[in-house]
């Protein structure tokens, strides 16, 4: 065979081999590229051209990644911001895809999911110890300033207003600057202490912290609400960590601090904080928060499982779109000035609202309202009693479009044409315009026009309506220098009598307290509207083995072993604005205001009809009404000694607090 005869088959073999290897390479597509293209194809909201653009971007990112890998062979710095698999790059791409959504509501929901996914990946990256294990990632511990800069950039792209962005930047400060500053200080103090502290981590606290953050992540809430939830998790974790290191919060009151710390390890079914709320409706001008169902918190609260608490917050000069609920509602105006309208078949009742007003909105009545203040937020606290699905209620919007979605849109167009006697194009026009959300900005002229009502309201045919009842216009039922209690009941408001509810408002002066007492029939749902403090309550259920207690052995030791009488668990919790706590009927309770500000508490009484307060200390306490023999037999000491204790307090309901009492005793001794 000639030379040319040998070369030709060789060339053919080489050419075929190249084709085979090329086909193998093309057939075995990179998994990341394949996943990226798959995501483009399954996006139902994208059109054909948009899907093609998405596929082209996948090819482009993959090509850039391959080029960077080739450049980085042998070392070199790499920026994770350019890595298509980095959280930052994924966030940008996700947000770009959201912008293509047709409806504003869908875009916002899409962007919210992008942010949640971004935070989840960030958290996973930090738990893996930075980013050394993934291609193109920068170690957070080596470059905190760079991570802080990128985190701020993400905050600046967030929607929701300046307040949301500010909270986001604060989170960046905590996560990327403060931890590293702390590490630096530890190193200056002596090197290995940081490792030693790391080894002292409490596994139980770590697990609780992780579970708390997961709960926040699963909330169907806005970004700001989830961020506050995570902040509470971090604060609780930090408190538990400090307790593990043996640092008392203060020398004075150490015993109280230890007792409170012990309580933190127990469940608190009667206490609700920010993470127990879900943001149901939200725009840049306000939001509606819903407290979780009481029964979901604990079976101890099944007596009030058909009641829900909601809080509406609306910015100045805003309008809340007309809607109705499948629930009876009692509204309390906690802050601000508004105007509300209730619409029935052939009449509309409208009246202005002021701080302290109490108003019933019957189930099914269409209602809308405005914040008529120029500079103050309107805050309404609602107690709702669902009438359709026990423990669950829904809002129904008639006027609306895409956001809020109108319930008219649920009907077939031909049915609406017949019902409204209107052409299809006109119907589609009016139900397709609204995309601003439930709480929207209104002009000053519109606000003034909807605020022209007499206080108390006017019916169209001249009939005077009673309207809301202002709690603060009534004389306080109990009052002294240590606080005031305002209450409205069935004798003041027929609507409350029909629902068997009551409303009260306690203003406890700074450093003062409410005497220990209990309600005979009513379970009290309390919302802290302002100030700080704490409360304690005696509960026999949490000491029962049925609810995870230890029965007669609670509080340790054999002192209580073998007894047949109930044992009481002390429920104790710090109180601050926005918290909710429940006091079941018959449970003795005390509330104390902080030393630097008043503690203001709004109370809804469930089963309020014929309820009585029984005071356990103070001038009118029930022990003073016992016969001498009953005191001696009950306490096992002479009646004279019992009287010396229970007749020494001259005040009635509001009393000087622990610090004030010690101050008075010191002055008396001097």
* pLDDT tens digits along 43-55: 545 566 666 777 7
The pLDDT of residue 55 is: 77
Residues 517 and 507 sit within 8 Å (Cβ to Cβ): no
The pLDDT of residue 585 is: 95
For the cut 60, the answer to whether the pLDDT of residue 629 exceeds it is yes
For the cut 80, the answer to whether the pLDDT of residue 135 exceeds it is no
CA pair distance 160, 173, nearest whole angstrom: 20
CA pair distance 343, 348, nearest whole angstrom: 5
Most confident region among 98-107, 450-459, 604-613 by mean pLDDT: 604-613
Q: State what percent of residues in the chain have pLDDT above 90.
A: 35
Residues 85 and 135 sit within 8 Å (Cβ to Cβ): yes
Question: Comparing C-alpha atoms, which of 363, 360, 352, 311 is closest to residue 331?
Answer: 360
CA pair distance 102, 114, nearest whole angstrom: 17
What 20-26 contacts at long range (C-beta under 8 Å, 24+ apart), as own/partner pairs, is: none
For the cut 80, the answer to whether the pLDDT of residue 654 exceeds it is yes
Question: Comparing C-alpha atoms, which of 494, 492, 450 is closest to residue 351?
Answer: 450
Helix (H, G, I), strand (E, B) or coil at 654: strand
Burial class (CB in 10 A: 0-12, 13-18, 19+), 541: buried
The pLDDT of residue 458 is: 36
Strand duo 613-615 + 501-508: pairing = unpaired
The pLDDT of residue 29 is: 57
Lowest mean pLDDT among 111-125, 274-288, 607-621: 111-125
Lowest mean pLDDT among 459-463, 480-484, 527-531, 645-649: 459-463
Q: State what percent of residues in the chain have pLDDT above 70.
A: 62
Question: Comparing C-alpha atoms, which of 527, 652, 541 is closest to residue 587?
Answer: 541
Taking only the tens place, the pLDDT of each residue in 455-492 is 543 333 334 446 788 889 888 889 999 999 999 877 77
The pLDDT of 293-309, averaged and rounded, is 92
Strand duo 654-656 + 512-514: pairing = antiparallel
Residue 589: strand pairing partners: 517, 537
Does 83 or 89 have the greater pLDDT score?
89
Most confident region among 34-38, 99-103, 130-134, 359-363 by mean pLDDT: 359-363
Length of the chain: 670
Lowest mean pLDDT among 227-231, 454-458, 547-551: 454-458
Helix (H, G, I), strand (E, B) or coil at 653: coil
From residue 136, alpha-carbon distances to 34, 85, 132, 460, 619 in Å are 19, 9, 8, 70, 73
Lowest mean pLDDT among 298-307, 548-557, 660-669: 548-557
Which secondary-structure segment (H or E) carries 311? strand 308-314
For the cut 90, the answer to whether the pLDDT of residue 220 exceeds it is no
For the cut 50, the answer to whether the pLDDT of residue 21 exceeds it is no
The pLDDT of residue 333 is: 95
pLDDT band at 141 (very low <50, low <70, confident <90, very high): very low
The pLDDT of residue 140 is: 40
* Whether the bond into 227 is cis, omega within 30 of 0: no
The pLDDT of residue 19 is: 45
Quick count: other Cβ atoms within 10 Å of Cβ 515?
A: 23
Helix 639-646 and helix 628-635, axial crossing angle in degrees, nearest 10: 90
Quick count: other Cβ atoms within 10 Å of Cβ 175?
A: 19
For the cut 60, the answer to whether the pLDDT of residue 274 exceeds it is yes
For the cut 50, the answer to whether the pLDDT of residue 522 exceeds it is yes
Taking only the tens place, the pLDDT of each residue in 491-519 is 778 889 899 999 999 999 999 999 999 99
User: Which 8-state DSSP code applies to residue 175?
Assistant: I
Taking only the tens place, the pLDDT of each residue in 159-217 is 556 666 777 777 777 666 554 444 444 444 444 444 344 444 566 567 667 667 766 66
pTM of structure: 0.61
Helices (H) and strands (E) in the chain, counts: 20, 27
The pLDDT of residue 142 is: 44
The domains of the chain, with CATH numbers, are: 271-399+434-453 (2.60.120.10), 478-544+568-618+653-669 (2.60.120.10)
For the cut 80, the answer to whether the pLDDT of residue 321 exceeds it is yes
The pLDDT of residue 533 is: 95
The pLDDT of residue 545 is: 65
Backbone angles phi and psi of 504, in degrees to 5: -140, 160
């Amino acid at each position: 065979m000639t030379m040319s005869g040998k070369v030709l088959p060789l060339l053919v073999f080489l050419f075929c081999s190249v084709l085979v290897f090329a086909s193998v390479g093309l057939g075995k597509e990179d998994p990341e590229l394949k996943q990226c293209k798959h995501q483009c194809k399954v996006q139902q909201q994208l059109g054909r051209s948009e899907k093609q653009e998405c596929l082209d971007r996948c090819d482009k990112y993959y090509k850039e990644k391959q080029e960077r890998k080739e450049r980085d062979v042998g070392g070199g710095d790499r920026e994770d911001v350019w890595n298509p698999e980095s959280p930052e790059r994924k966030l940008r791409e996700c947000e770009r895809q959201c912008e293509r959504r047709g409806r504003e509501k869908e875009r916002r929901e899409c962007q919210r999911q992008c942010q949640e996914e971004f935070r989840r990946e960030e958290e996973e990256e930090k738990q893996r110890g930075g980013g050394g294990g993934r291609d193109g990632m920068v170690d957070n511990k080596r470059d905190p300033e760079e991570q802080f800069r990128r985190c701020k950039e993400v905050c600046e792209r967030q929607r929701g207003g300046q307040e949301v962005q500010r909270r986001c930047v604060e989170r960046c400060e905590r996560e990327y600057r403060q931890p590293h500053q702390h590490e630096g200080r530890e190193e200056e103090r002596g090197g290995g202490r940081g490792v030693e502290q790391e080894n002292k981590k409490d596994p139980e606290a770590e697990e609780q912290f992780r579970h708390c953050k997961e709960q926040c992540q699963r909330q169907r809430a806005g970004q700001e609400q989830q961020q506050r939830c995570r902040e509470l998790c971090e604060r609780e974790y930090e408190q538990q960590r400090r307790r593990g290191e043996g640092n008392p919060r203060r020398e004075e009151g150490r015993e109280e601090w230890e007792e409170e710390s012990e309580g933190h390890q127990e469940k608190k079914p009667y206490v609700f904080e920010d993470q127990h709320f879900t943001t149901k409706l939200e725009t840049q001008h306000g939001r509606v928060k819903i407290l979780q169902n009481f029964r979901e918190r604990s079976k101890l609260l099944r007596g009030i499982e058909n009641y829900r608490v909601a809080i509406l917050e609306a910015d100045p000069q805003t309008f809340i779109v007309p809607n109705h609920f499948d629930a009876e509602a009692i509204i309390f105006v906690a802050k601000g000035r508004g105007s509300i309208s209730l619409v029935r078949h052939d009449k509309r009742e409208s009246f202005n609202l002021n701080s302290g007003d109490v108003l019933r909105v019957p189930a099914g009545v269409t209602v809308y309202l405005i914040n008529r203040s120029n500079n103050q937020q309107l805050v309404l606290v609602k107690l709702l009693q669902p009438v359709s699905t026990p423990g669950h209620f829904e809002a129904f919007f008639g006027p609306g479009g895409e956001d809020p979605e109108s319930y008219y849109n649920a009907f077939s167009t031909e049915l609406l044409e017949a019902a409204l006697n209107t052409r299809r194009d006109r119907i589609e026009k009016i139900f397709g315009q609204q995309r601003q959300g439930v709480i929207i900005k209104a002009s000053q002229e519109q606000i003034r026009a909807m605020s022209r009502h007499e206080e108390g309201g006017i019916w169209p045919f001249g009939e005077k309506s009673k309207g809301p009842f202002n709690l603060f216009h009534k004389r306080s039922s109990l009052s002294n220098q240590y606080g005031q209690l305002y209450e409205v009941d069935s004798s003041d408001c027929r609507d409350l009598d029909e629902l068997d509810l009551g409303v009260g408002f306690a203003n406890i002066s700074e450093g003062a307290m409410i005497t220990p007492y209990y309600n005979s029939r009513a379970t009290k749902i309390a919302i802290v509207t302002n100030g700080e403090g704490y409360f304690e309550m005696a509960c026999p259920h949490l000491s029962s083995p049925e609810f995870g207690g230890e029965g007669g052995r609670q509080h340790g030791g054999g002192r209580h072993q073998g007894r047949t009488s109930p044992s009481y668990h002390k429920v104790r919790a710090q109180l601050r604005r926005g918290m909710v706590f429940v006091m079941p009927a018959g449970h003795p309770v005390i509330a104390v205001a902080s030393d630097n500000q008043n503690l203001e508490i709004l109370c809804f009484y469930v089963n309020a009809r014929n309820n009585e307060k029984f005071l356990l200390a103070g001038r009118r306490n029930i022990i003073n009404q016992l016969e001498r023999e009953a005191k001696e037999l009950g306490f096992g000491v002479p009646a004279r000694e019992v009287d010396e204790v229970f007749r020494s307090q001259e005040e009635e309901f509001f009393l000087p607090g622990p610090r004030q009492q010690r101050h008075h005793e010191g002055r008396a001794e001097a």
